Amino acid sequence: MKVKLENLSKRWGKVVGADHINLDINDGEFVAFLGPSGCGKTTTLLMVAGIYKPTEGNIWFDNQVVNYMTPKDRNIGMVFQSYALYPHMNVFQNISYPLKLKKVPKNDMRERAQRVADMMGIGHLMDRRPAQLSGGQQQRVALGRALVKEPQLLLFDEPLSNLDARLRLSMRGEIKRLVIELGITAIYVTHDQVEAMTMADRIAVMKEGKLQAYDPPDELYDQPRTLFVAGFVGNPPMNFLEVEVSRKNGDYHAHREKFDAIVPTEQGEKTAGKGNVIMGIRPEDITISDEGVGGEIYVVEPLGRDDLVTVQIGEAIVHVLADPVLGLKMGQNVTLDFSTHKVQFFDPQTEKSLLWAE
């Protein structure tokens, strides 16, 4: 099923939950809503579910406006962060609840619930109460309950937040596989950019109720359209430096106090002569080399595969991912090579990208 949000807003008096959101979701697409806590992800999701009525705008399911359709007529499945398993019902009763409400005949209901439970690997736990299950098992029951009525749209609200790190990793893969296999359109709300990047076909980044960007993960990562998106996506986050770009001897240079780096022509052309701009560069795109910008190592944090090195250049602080074999030490002087074609530039006033803005 296709979903389209058109100028969708939700306000409670002066409190703004969602602010003129426009996006469309293709049939079978897996979309993530990504943003910090309180940015309106849940509000938007609950409007799609029919729990909240939009203050303004429209929600389309295929060719139908569903603003006033009750949740029970929308044929959606939803998984909550708290799982929201009914505590007085056992696993079977929880999973078959949507079927019972649809008045599916008893035998049919038993069969379908069992099939879904088996698919989720909890078929042997049918008699247990939610309180007798581990977090991961509860998560599976919640998924089973969302899937059992074969919904046209699956909604997830931070479903993995309550799991421990290891389980989160495996459930992440399982949910992704499940959704792709079933081919159901899905909206997945999360504040965890790794979850969004790894699972979704497209990511809608939100901030303070507004949609910031709506792109596939690689585009979001390589061509961030706003300063916020650039800073929010990626871990460790992108470095930002206020610089001025100018042309010297045929090359473009970004410079500031104790800092001078060569900028690729493509980016230089779009930023030279614009006064102060914000240069963005990811920690993995900076290399420690023999020549470049000099600085002093402030601290080294080993991450296992890489060392996260914090380097002080004049007033500025820059994070760099370095190879541990270099054996970098605190207080050591290093030179950094900033010349990468992945460098980003943003307008400090509008916070929009100078490279990818439409």
**Which residues lie near ligand ADP (CB under 6 A)?**
12, 15, 17, 35, 37-43
Site for Mg ion contains 42 (CB under 5 A): yes
**CB 38 → ligand ADP: shortest distance, Å?**
4
Which segments of the chain does DSSP mark as H helices, in order?
Answer: 41-49, 91-101, 106-119, 135-147, 165-182, 193-199, 217-222, 227-232, 265-271
Site for other proteins contains 324 (CB under 8 A): no
Footprint of other proteins on 219-238 (CB under 8 A): none
State the residue for tokens 């410079």.
255
Q: By the 8 A CB rule, do 136 and 86 touch? A: no
**CB 260 → Mg ion: shortest distance, Å?**
44
Site for Mg ion contains 139 (CB under 5 A): no
Question: Nearest CA to 137 among 94, 180, 189?
Answer: 94
Site for other proteins contains 46 (CB under 8 A): yes
Backbone angles phi, psi at 62, to 5 degrees: 50, -120
State the residue for tokens 């460098």.
343
Site for Mg ion contains 190 (CB under 5 A): no
**Options 98, 144, 209, 217; binder of other proteins; rule CB under 8 A:** 98
Site for other proteins contains 97 (CB under 8 A): yes
Question: Nearest CA to 141 among 175, 95, 77?
Answer: 95
Q: By the 8 A CB rule, do 259 and 241 touch? A: yes
Site for Mg ion contains 43 (CB under 5 A): no
Q: Decide whether 140 or 202 has the Cβ nearer to ligand ADP.
A: 202
217 binds, among ligand ADP, other proteins, Mg ion, none (CB under 5 to 8 A by kind): none
Q: Decide whether 108 or 222 has the Cβ nearer to other proteins.
A: 108
Question: Nearest CA to 39 among 194, 190, 201, 195?
Answer: 190
Site for other proteins contains 270 (CB under 8 A): no
End-to-end CA, the chain: 29
Question: Nearest CA to 25 among 146, 155, 148?
Answer: 155
Backbone angles phi, psi at 342, to 5 degrees: -90, 5
Binding mask 71-90 for other proteins (x = CB under 8 A): xx---xxx-x-x-x-xxx--
43 binds, among ligand ADP, other proteins, Mg ion, none (CB under 5 to 8 A by kind): ligand ADP
Site for other proteins contains 145 (CB under 8 A): yes
Q: Which residues bind Mg ion (CB under 5 A)?
A: 42
Q: Which residues bind other proteins (CB under 8 A)?
A: 46, 49-51, 70-72, 76-78, 80, 82, 84, 86-88, 97-98, 101-102, 145, 149, 155
